[in-house]
Chains A and B, each alone.
Chain A
Amino acid sequence: MKIKSPLSTAVAIGSGLIVLLTYLINVDEINAVRETLLGWVVIASAAALLVGLINLITVHVNKIRQGKKPLYSFVLVISAVVTFSLTLVLGPGHFIPQGIFQYVQIPVETSLMAVLAVTLTYASARLLSRRPNLFSVIFILTLLLTLLGTAPFFNIEIPFISSILQPFLSKVLAGAGARGLLIGVGLGTVATGIRILIGADRPFSR
């Protein structure tokens, strides 16, 4: 008997209705139920994170056994196990876990952002050769004006651009577009919530 799908859907709908009710009415009993449900979410999410870590290690251990690029998998498994063990034992404030974080993780991720900066600069320079149209020209001009208004151009601040044009571009034009996006996101969120509450969408039953 397949009860997974209807059971999970019923749990999702029930939980959503209870949490939604707490926004509409202030009843201590319902609030208590909501706190319990949210507490379960915190615990379950933490457990899911651990399960994900175990799954990641398992996948790469299997790759090592199968000989599929074992060097990368070996480095990953060793790094994960060592970092997890040290942080668990010593705590995140200890200098060893802190050193791992400061001298490995932050530089690696930051360097990726640096590469991204170079790549975006190169792509912007070649944009007009690949797509020489009006929208490309508008994009390039907007980009140049925003950059000019963000920081002084070789230690020279351009008054009109930095004080008027750049704020207009980033807060009026970009803000107008962002509001439109946010309204769309809000409507989509409401529609998705209603569909889940009435059972039309069952993302938890798969």
Chain B
Amino acid sequence: MSLDQNEFPEEELPDWLDGLSNEEGDPADDGDTKPNSELESPSEELGIPSLEPPGTGKLFNAASDEKASEYLQGEFDEDDTDDWLQSIREQQGILAEEETAEEKSDTSDFLERIQDLKNEEEELEEDPQSFLDSIGNETEAASESEFLDSSKIDDTNLDWLSGISDEKPPSLTSELLDNRLGDLDEVDEKENVELPDWLIKIKSGEDSEVDKAKSNEESLAGEDSAETGDWMDQFADPEETDLARPKIDFNLEEDLAWIKEQDVLAGDTGEISAVLDISKNLEPSVDPDWLSSMEEKSLADAEIEMPDITIEERPVGEKGSFVASERGSELATGEEDGISRAEVPSWLQAIRPEGMFDLIGEDGNYILGEAETTGPLAGIGNVLPAEPGNVLFSLNKVPKVDLYVSKTQQVHISILNDMISAEEETPSVKRRSIAIPQQVLRWIIAGLLYIAVMIPVFNGQMNAPLPTATHPEISAMSDIVNSLPPSSPVLVAFEYQPGLSGEMEAASAAVLDHLLIRGSELVFISTSPTGPGLIEHYLDTLLSNHTYIADEKFPNLGYISGGIAALLNFANNPQSTVPRVYLENTEGQDVNVWTVEPLNQIKKIQDFAMILVISDDPDTARSWIEQVEPYLSEDDVPLTMVISAQAEPLIYPYYDNSPRQVSGLVSGLSGGAMYETISVRENIASRYWDGFGNGLSVTIIIILFGGIFNSVNSWRENRQKVR
């Protein structure tokens, strides 16, 4: 009974039922399917929430359809269809009362019930407990009989239902409403009864709505008859009636039980009972194929839930609320008249709006929901929304992402955050507090070193003997230079930093001097940004005595960017790597260096007579060996190097190799001094040799005595700790 038509696909609904569904369940729709206010208004005006299930109340409007009536006559003929109802009636023992009820008129029955209601209220006020005890006994029989009797209220408007049973269901027509409202007025005037609020509301008169209901009833009845004729004809076919018969055995006792309560409490039982009766009886007719597949339990549950909503709407404090609570307790526990509560199917649970049906509290009593504030259902609580799809029943649930983060991962996260934040901050240099003795010791060490180095400078004497032992790599360098023919183009690469210029200049000065003496034409290049400046500085300070340098006829190719790739490119095609370098000729004109000597002879790297790399970095020296040397080895062009003493261990293996990748090698100041010894030509290495030796000697003494002192001191401290 409480099945919502919106639960089923529209395409599965018959046309006439679909229209009813729209009208009943979608009041927001306008146009032709405007809801019939008459069918809604009675329950509202009576202060009773909508007892008729959606879709069933409109059947009264369709009662005028002749075809439907014919179909229903055959469908619900007592002879073949109402055995189940007959048995129920016999069990209830109400058949006799039905006959007597037929003799009653609508008005008298209604007035009697109002009088009964008044009496009950008085009784409740006087002795509530006895009244409540009597309810259980009275409601079953009385409501059951009235439920069945009420179906005979209106014979005129429900001709089409005459074949369903002996009793004829009433219709909530406008005439009936007029009669009811008139009766209410009479009762109020004559007896001056203190009516409840919902009756007062009726009494206040809403004739205009009644008139409106009349017109709506007429219009909708005509539409329904036109729309449902064909469909109903099919069901009128005797062969198909079996399929359309209800396959679900309604629990009439349960229906009647709660309807009894409604009858007793609401007072106006005629319409309600009629509505429920007709709805129940017509239920099979509105569930063709699509409904036949439904489970019995689901429909039974749906019927059970129907009174929950209607009962809860009653004002608190009235008798109905008490009964409703009692009823709710039964439903909550799932026990009622020995019938276990059916399970709500999952699909029905899924479509049920959240929170709207959570009417039963922890104590088993119903919870009053929020009342509607606007619209025709104003004042009624726990009302089904008109358009569930357009109503937000609850906040959209954001899917929770359960991300488990272990403690180790949290530690890693914090470390990463610290690293990132540290990168963004400018580190503040904190002045370290150094103990005074250590600071003094540092100054003493620095002073001793400075004194040892400066003595030869101030003395002006070179007492230290130059190294006599010559290393083979240095001799190889000297031999290569000596083997170069005059005016041989030699490429010299400056690959060191200005900080080590002192060592590198002293180590390489003798070699370059030797080359210039041999008449080689030097070409300078660098892969370091500071290289061109170092070249200019070097030539101006150390080699300016040579004419080749003094005349500034040497080409300085400058800086080539790109690191290893640039070296490879230069080795592959020197001219394309540094295409535009200009040099002032004797006539004062700038000419491209590749058009004049010595570079006009250079087409490829092998055209140089020798390559000399001056480097303090073993990686840079290794780049030259790896990228350029393979090209040079094709034509046996020697690759020689002057390197810092710190790079010697890493570069020496390239010399001590077979075949040699480095043809000649001079390392450090001592290597420069050795080369000067071999070439028998003093240069800056010899001048530095005394100061260099004195500095190393003082360093050796400091380290030696410092180490001994600290070792003894540490040993003494440990011994004192042991003691």
Contact = CB atoms under 8 A, between A and B. Distances in A.
Interface of A: 19, 31, 34-35, 38-39, 41-42, 44-46, 48-49, 68, 92-93, 97-98, 101-102, 105-106, 109-110, 112-113, 117-118, 121-122, 124-129, 132, 140, 143-144, 147-148, 150-155, 157, 162-163, 167, 170-171, 174-175, 177-179, 181-182
A98 B533 contact: yes
Contacts of B694: 154
A124 B572 contact: no
B465 A157 contact: yes
Interface in B293-348: none
A147 B699 contact: yes
B649 A101 contact: no
Contact of A110 (B449, B498, B713): B498
Nearest to A150: B670
Contacts of B534: 101
B540 to A, nearest CB: 7
B446 A42 contact: no
Contacts of A162: 467, 469
Contact of B565 (A41, A93, A175, A181): A41
B445 A121 contact: yes
Contacts of B650: 178, 181-182
A140 B653 contact: no
B653 A129 contact: no
Given A98-B536, A98-B537, A151-B692, A126 B649 contact: no
Interface string B572-588: 11001100000000000
Nearest to B473: A171
B415 to A, nearest CB: 21
Contacts of B499: 106, 109-110, 112-113
B529 interface: yes
Interface stretch (B156-164, B249-257, B358-366, B554-562): B554-562
Given A101-B533, A171-B656, A174-B649, A121 B702 contact: yes
17 contacts: A35-B569, A38-B568, A49-B529, A93-B556, A102-B537, A105-B530, A109-B498, A110-B501, A113-B499, A147-B699, A151-B693, A153-B696, A154-B697, A155-B693, A157-B468, A175-B653, A182-B622
Given A105-B530, A118-B445, A125 B656 contact: no
Given A38-B566, A42-B562, A102-B537, A148 B700 contact: yes
Contacts of A48: 561
The 10 closest A-B pairs by CB, nearest first: A125-B706, A129-B710, A109-B499, A38-B569, A45-B561, A174-B649, A101-B533, A151-B693, A45-B562, A41-B565
The majority secondary structure among interface residues of chain A is helix
Interface of B: 426, 441-442, 445-446, 449, 463-465, 467-469, 471, 497-502, 529-530, 532-534, 536-537, 540-541, 552, 556, 558, 560-563, 565-566, 568-569, 572-573, 576-577, 622, 645, 648-650, 652-653, 656, 668, 670, 689-690, 692-697, 699-700, 702-707, 710-711, 713-715
B563 A45 contact: yes
Given A118-B442, A144-B700, A151-B692, A177 B566 contact: no
Given A45-B562, A93-B536, A121-B449, A147 B700 contact: yes
A126 B714 CA distance: 10
A76 B28 CA distance: 75
Contact of B560 (A42, A118, A143, A148): A42
Given A98-B533, A147-B699, A140 B707 contact: yes
Nearest to A101: B533
A27 B533 CA distance: 39
Contacts of A93: 536, 552, 556
Given A101-B530, A113-B502, 17 more contacts: A38-B565, A39-B569, A44-B562, A92-B558, A105-B533, A106-B499, A106-B537, A117-B449, A118-B442, A150-B645, A150-B696, A152-B693, A157-B465, A157-B467, A170-B649, A171-B648, A175-B652
